[in-house]
Amino acid sequence: MSEPRGLGDKQAEETGRSDTSILPRRLSEITHWDIVTDVAIVGYGGAGACAAIEAKDAGAEVIIFETASGGGGSTALSCGEIYYGGNGGTPIQKATGFEDSSENMYNYLMASGGPNADERKIRAYVDGSLDHYHWIVDKGLRYKPSFVATREIIQLTDDCLIYSGNEKAWPYRDKALPCPRGHKGRIEGDNGGPLLWQALSGAVEQRGIKVQYDSRVLALIADEHNEVSGVAIRHDMKEYNVRATRGVVLCTGGFAMNQKMLKKFAPTLAKGNAPLGNPNDNGSGIRMGMALGASVINMTEGFISMAFYPPGRNSSGIFVNANGQRYVNEDSYHTRVAYYSMLQPDSRCYLILHASDDFKPPKFFNPPIAGTGFTLEELEAELKIPAGALAQTMEYYNRHAAKGEDPFFHKASEWLEPIEPPYVALDCSPSGGGYVTYFTLGGLETAPSGEVLNVRGEVIPGLYTAGRTASGVPCSTEHYASGLSVGDATFSGRMAGMAAAGRIPTEASKGCRIV
Amino acid sequence: MSEPRGLGDKQAEETGRSDTSILPRRLSEITHWDIVTDVAIVGYGGAGACAAIEAKDAGAEVIIFETASGGGGSTALSCGEIYYGGNGGTPIQKATGFEDSSENMYNYLMASGGPNADERKIRAYVDGSLDHYHWIVDKGLRYKPSFVATREIIQLTDDCLIYSGNEKAWPYRDKALPCPRGHKGRIEGDNGGPLLWQALSGAVEQRGIKVQYDSRVLALIADEHNEVSGVAIRHDMKEYNVRATRGVVLCTGGFAMNQKMLKKFAPTLAKGNAPLGNPNDNGSGIRMGMALGASVINMTEGFISMAFYPPGRNSSGIFVNANGQRYVNEDSYHTRVAYYSMLQPDSRCYLILHASDDFKPPKFFNPPIAGTGFTLEELEAELKIPAGALAQTMEYYNRHAAKGEDPFFHKASEWLEPIEPPYVALDCSPSGGGYVTYFTLGGLETAPSGEVLNVRGEVIPGLYTAGRTASGVPCSTEHYASGLSVGDATFSGRMAGMAAAGRIPTEASKGCRIV
Ligand SMILES: Cc1cc2nc3c(=O)[nH]c(=O)nc-3n(C[C@H](O)[C@H](O)[C@H](O)COP(=O)(O)OP(=O)(O)OC[C@H]3O[C@@H](n4cnc5c(N)ncnc54)[C@H](O)[C@@H]3O)c2cc1C
Ligand SMILES: Cc1cc2nc3c(=O)[nH]c(=O)nc-3n(C[C@H](O)[C@H](O)[C@H](O)COP(=O)(O)OP(=O)(O)OC[C@H]3O[C@@H](n4cnc5c(N)ncnc54)[C@H](O)[C@@H]3O)c2cc1C
């Protein structure tokens, strides 16, 4: 096999020669193997790197196949926020004065999974969370023992700990004691992802794990009972058959970049206008699994955001729909606000704020000003909200806010103050010019070990998956929290790597094998 | 093969011997065929019967395999309402003074599919609708040329035509000229399904089509490229291999009765408390398809209902959530109202009505009275709605209703009148004792021909599906209309039967075959 070349695979795509099927190739038709390894990892992002490290550390021979000319995927593009906690607290939580019990974190994550919560995965994630923290730190990532108390989408300083989800918001605060669990690496700006990637890729290199770039995995190779024995890859315009004696781990990310799949499987996310991810987030791994009869779950779910804060005081505004009705507590995590916003008639949503002299629009993705007014009547007219409707909402809200109450949505009292004229309304809706960004959380159904399950709940032998190719701990748009995706991708990557290498007990070994 | 026996398959289930996998059996391992036919139809309900008739009429030899001891499935349990129209109007539409253009019906159905609408299927359904009417009538079903103007869930007289969806409700009425398209057979009471079944099963018998009862289809038989060549069935505790030389048509219905699948794939429907269907609506056909690598779409979607009318005048009440906010036009079809109700905080939903001297609760599934009051303050307290919130909603609603206006949701003026004290509130929520019933609309992805597609959009040769095993014309909870499911099951059954018999051009023959 020749050395990595920059354009091999890309060329193939662009010359229209990328006409291969993602359907499984049959073992009986494979005449020779070009490469043989114990574990083949597909995709060199967060999940893939962690799977590779664990599989290697478990004694397996590992090769990573990556379609791009470099590693990192969406993980390296991300803020690198990771959701850790429980077990009495991480060193950072402890240093900043937070105690965090596993039961408390478990309760929060169960709420954060909504009706789809996977209890076994959440239990494993919580139990392993402190260990995971140390494992990542051991790879070289540094965290500063500091806490950011302001309401941020992401810490832009080199500080670490933050409330990264709905912990303090109703109704979550009644289900679990609020505790901050978002951890960002010690670096200025939105650079936590590159920093995390430096650590993970460093650990991969240090172990001498082979990474084959510009190598797109085209299809799984499986026998007629769908037991997976390897993958077919394309590199430099030629195809190669890879035998993976212990297992294949699909770590190809989600499908935010695939409009066809979004429209079919996640129409609510498709209401957004800005996919968040790398160009290879096209669902290839999910489709390879489906083509083999794997089950896919939570396909409608995702992260979706209208970043209306910071400044935190924007949470003192109210979100209203086309009828001037409130519909969410504005101190919720931005994904929860965006989720409810997308459900409103025509997905219209306005953030109504007091237009103070020093009014500051949201820091990110500044939504257009849809109206201003000294009176609510003026504003209603500009926003085409039925006359009197916004005034009524505001009267009720202000009357209770003055008493520190929000009878509808129980916004925390720190954000409750009457909204005085003059007013400004920001149009946060996708149709009104708001920037609504998303990535996907649905994917292949797996056991906590990363073993892929078919629709009957049976393990597909030889096939593992992790990160956004699987549906994992984060599986609900309504309840998502920052740090869960990278947290889950790295954690589930480790599990799948260990399982594929044969180090942790698997569902298959528990007698759940196809008969 | 012995004659049908009542308990064969049932026994197998109950003695725990039903341990067979729905995974495909491989052709290479089939040593003999017990039965050979051209087309094997799996499931003898509406879709199965229609598929069988068309396949037979196209000259194919057909056998139907049905797990129950009799035919009909959910179709025979249903009200038999069918959604027909377009093409200038059905004879019933014309006789009752309604003209219906195909473009108009197409526009309505596109709205009724929401973002998931399948344009090609809708086009075929509309273009074929008048022909489908005649085809059904030709099988012996009689319709009375009469129109029911009142607001009903289902006609309980022997009358035929009704507005069976959201045609007259905002915003649909602005997208397509309202026209009634729900047709029920000429029989008193809720007996349209049995009457329809009499016609369809009569046509099956008349053609001498063989129906093998007590024969559960266990799995598809396919070669290693997933080309389907037959099915494995269990009859009288023995297994048989069936070769279908032209094709297998899965017509096994949906998965409303499978709690595991509901929880995994349709959590919103699972909020309901009463599945609607027959016990074999367990998703077996969908799972067989998935296990073969078929694509599944719209799995979260379904029919869901709180039957709060008749009497129609209940639509003059208002639905409010736990915060006393309105959220839907109450003259919407009951599925739309239930859909929005389930999205409210904790799915709490109350129907507030004027408690007149002759107050009549809804005719079906009478929801409990959650509160009454001479004042709204009293009612708020009883319903635990924040003080003043309901009063505010009511004041705004009444003020506009008096002028025949509904600025929020544009309820039609015929239902707009101020709601005067005393008040009664019905708790329609599942947790409050309301009866919330559902069936599923998600399923295998197909071409309009009924050919099953894999995730790459390619045809799986030899496999067809119809009715609720497929995702068809009805594919959106929010926008569903009565008559679409039986309409689609019978229509798509016919398409699949013709395609399997080789009579209509298929995707496969258009060069879309797996390569
Ligand atoms: C700007 C941004 C900020 C974010 N911030 C955060 C955050 O702070 N915290 C958080 O939890 N989440 C965040 N997310 C989301 C999070 O980064 C991702 O969901 C997560 O990192 C995905 O990890 P992964 O390992 O599953 O996929 P990736 O890291 O994307 O890795 C997948 C890899 O597979 C490769 N690949 C794809 N198909 C093939 C194929 N067929 N053959 C070979 N290789 C293939 C891709 O090229 C890629 O390298 C953010 C995302 C973005 C884009
Ligand atoms: C009370 C009620 C009223 C309704 N009213 C209406 C209405 O008026 N209009 C409307 O449009 N919709 C209505 N619906 C919904 C509609 O009836 C169904 O969605 C539709 O009829 C389904 O048709 P089908 O052919 O896909 O499935 P079915 O008619 O249910 O047929 C499926 C058949 O497959 C069999 N089967 C399942 N698994 C296997 C297997 N593995 N092997 C062999 N056989 C198997 C089943 O026993 C069954 O006989 C109603 C439903 C109910 C329950």
- Please give the average per-residue pLDDT across A16-20, as a whole number: 41
Q: Is B352 on the interface with A (CB under 8 A)?
A: no
Ligand lying closest to the C-alpha of residue A50: 1
Domains assigned to chain A: 8-77+194-303+438-504 (3.50.50.60), 307-427 (3.90.700.10)
User: Residue A482 — very low, low, confident or very high, per pLDDT cuts 50/70/90?
Assistant: very high
How would you write B302-339 as a 3-class SS string? EEEECCCCCCHHHHHCEEECCCCCECCCCCCCHHHHHH
State the DSSP H helix or E strand holding residue B231, giving kind and residue range, or none if neither: strand B228-235
SS (H, E, C) B376-424: HHHHHHHHCCCCCHHHHHHHHHHHHHCCCCCCCCCCCHHHCCCCCCCEE
Tell me the pLDDT band of A510, cut-offs 50, 70 and 90: low
Cα of A154 vs centre of ligand 1, distance in Å, is 17
Q: Which residues of A touch B296 (CB under 8 A)?
A: 296
Q: Is A21 in CB contact (< 8 Å) with chain B?
A: yes
**What separation in Å is there between the alpha carbon of B232 and the centre of ligand 2?**
22
Give the closest of B23, B270, B343 to A293, CB-based: B23
Q: Alpha-carbon distance A338 to B170, whole Å?
A: 25
Q: DSSP of A472-504, one letter per residue?
A: -S---TTT--TTHHHHHHHHHHHHHHHHHHT-S
CB–CB of B268/B300 below 8 Å? Answer: yes
Could you give the CA distance from residue A173 to residue A332 in angstroms, rounded to a whole number?
A: 11
What's the CA gap between B38 and A506, in Å, rounded?
43
Indicate the burial class of B3 (C-beta count within 10 angstroms; 0-12, 13-18, 19 or more): exposed
pLDDT in tens, B487-513: 999 999 999 999 999 976 676 655 333
| Minimum-distance ligand 2 atom for the alpha carbon of B192 | 8
Query: What per-residue confidence (pLDDT) applies to A456?
Result: 87
Is B344 near chain A, with CB under 8 Å? no
For A113, name the nearest residue in chain B, comparing CA atoms only.
B267
Residues 76-105 of B with CB under 8 A from A: none
Length of chain B (residues)? 515
B456 at interface of A, judged by CB pairs closer than 8 A: yes
Q: Determine whether the interchain pair B291/A263 forms a contact, defined as Cβ–Cβ distance below 8 Å.
A: no
Cα–Cα distance, A491 to A306 (Å, whole number) = 27
- B9 in contact with A at a CB cutoff of 8 Å? no
CA triple A123-A82-A472, angle to 5 deg: 45
Give me the residue from B290, B386, B396 closest to A392, CB to CB.
B396
Residues 6+ apart with CB under 8 A from B451: B459, B460, B463, B464, B499, B506, B507, B508
DSSP A274: E
Q: In whole angstroms, what separates CA B5 from the centre of its chain?
A: 30
Provide the 3-class DSSP secondary structure of residue B37: strand
Instruction: Kindly report the protein residue whose alpha carbon is nearest to atom 5 of ligand 2.
Output: B78
CA dihedral A161, A166, A169, A170 (to 10 degrees): -150
Tell me the average pLDDT across A478-498.
98
Which residue out of B75, B255, B276, B305 has the highest number of ligand 2 atoms within 8 Å of its CB and is therefore the one to mutate? B75
The reply to whether B270 touches chain A by the CB within 8 Å rule is yes
Distance CA B486, CA B75 (A): 7
> Among all residues of chain B, which has the CA nearest to that of A329?
B345
d(CA A57, CA B119): 52
Residue nearest to atom 37 of ligand 2 (CA): B252
Distance from CA of A73 to the nearest CA of B (A): 23
ipTM confidence score: 0.91
Tell whether A265 lies on the interface with B, counting CB pairs under 8 A.
yes
Q: Is residue A512 less than 8 Å (CB to CB) from chain B?
A: no
Alpha-carbon distance of A170 to B345, in angstroms, equals 12
| Separation between Cα atoms, residue B24 and residue B288, nearest integer Å | 7
The secondary structure of A393-461 as a DSSP string is HHHHHHHHHTTT--TTT---GGG----PSSEEEEE-STTTT---EEEE--EE-B-TT-EEEBTTS-EEE
Residue A14 has pLDDT above 60, yes or no: no
Can you name the residues that pair with A35 across neighbouring β-strands? A242
Residue A177 has φ and ψ, to the nearest 5°, of -60, 125
Quick check: A403 contacting B, CB < 8 Å?
no
Residue A407: pLDDT band by 50, 70, 90 thresholds? very high
DSSP state of B100: B
Q: CA-CA distance, A70 to A72, in Å (whole number)?
A: 7
At A493, phi and psi to the nearest 5?
-60, -45
Query: Which chain A residue shows the shortest CA-CA distance from B476?
Result: A267
Q: Would you call A300 an interface residue with chain B, using a CB distance cutoff of 8 Å?
A: yes
pLDDT of residue B248: 98
Sheet of B302-305: strands edge to edge? Answer: B274-275, B437-440, B302-305
For residue B438, the ligand closest to its alpha carbon is 2
- Tell me the average pLDDT across A479-492: 98
| Whole-number pLDDT of residue B1 | 39
Query: A115 touching B, CB under 8 A?
Result: yes
Could A115 and B267 be called an inter-chain contact, meaning their C-beta atoms sit closer than 8 Å? yes
Ligand 1 center–CA A281 separation, angstroms: 7
Token pair for residue A467? 């990160």
Q: Which residues line ligand 1 (CB under 6 A)?
A: A 42-48, 65-68, 73-75, 77-81, 216-217, 251-253, 276-278, 280, 284, 439, 467-468, 482-487, 489
Nearest to A325 among B325, B386, B445 (CB): B325
Min Cα distance A454 → chain B (Å) is 7
When CB atoms are compared, the residue of B115, B286, B454 closest to A267 is B115
Kindly report the number of other CB atoms within 10 A of residue A142's CB atom. Answer: 12
A22: confidence class by pLDDT, cuts 50, 70, 90: confident
pLDDT digits over A142-201, tens only? 999 999 999 999 999 999 999 999 999 999 999 999 999 999 999 999 999 999 999 999
CB B37 within 8 A of CB B63: yes
pLDDT of A511 > 60? The answer is no
* Of A295, A317, A170, nearest in space to B263 by CA: A295
At residue A508 the predicted structure's pLDDT band, cuts being 50, 70 and 90, is low
Asked if the Cβ–Cβ distance from B386 to A392 is below 8 Å, we say: no
Given the CA of residue B485, which atom of ligand 2 is nearest to it?
11
- Token pair for residue A74? 């969406």
Expressed in angstroms and rounded, the spacing between residue A242 Cα and the centre of ligand 1 is: 24
Contact A21 B300 (CB under 8 A): no
Q: How far is A125 from chain B (nearest CA, A)?
A: 20
Q: What's the mean pLDDT when you consider all of chain A? A: 93
User: Which residues of chain B have a CB within 8 Å of the CB of A396?
Assistant: 388-389, 392
| Short-list A92, A169, A175, A80, CA closest to A130 | A92
Residue B150's SS3 state is coil
Say if residue A6's pLDDT is above 60.
no
Band (pLDDT 50/70/90 cuts) for residue A4 is very low
Nearest CA-CA partner of A218 in A17, A82, A446: A17
| pLDDT per position as a tens digit, A329-361 | 999 999 999 999 999 999 999 999 999 988 888
Q: Is there a contact between B199 and B141 (Cβ–Cβ < 8 Å)?
A: yes
Round to whole Å and give the CA distance between B236 and B1. Answer: 9
Residues of chain B with pLDDT under 50: 1-19, 511-515
Contact indicator for B400, B410 with CB cutoff of 8 Å = no
pLDDT at residue A20 in the model: 57
Q: Do A293 and B290 touch (CB under 8 A)?
A: yes
Render the burial of B285-296: b for 16+ CB within 10 Å, e for the rest.
bbbbbbbbbbbb
8 Å CB contact between B295 and A255: no
Ligand 1 pocket check: which of A84, A200, A486, A490 to mutate, most ligand atoms within 8 Å of Cβ? A486
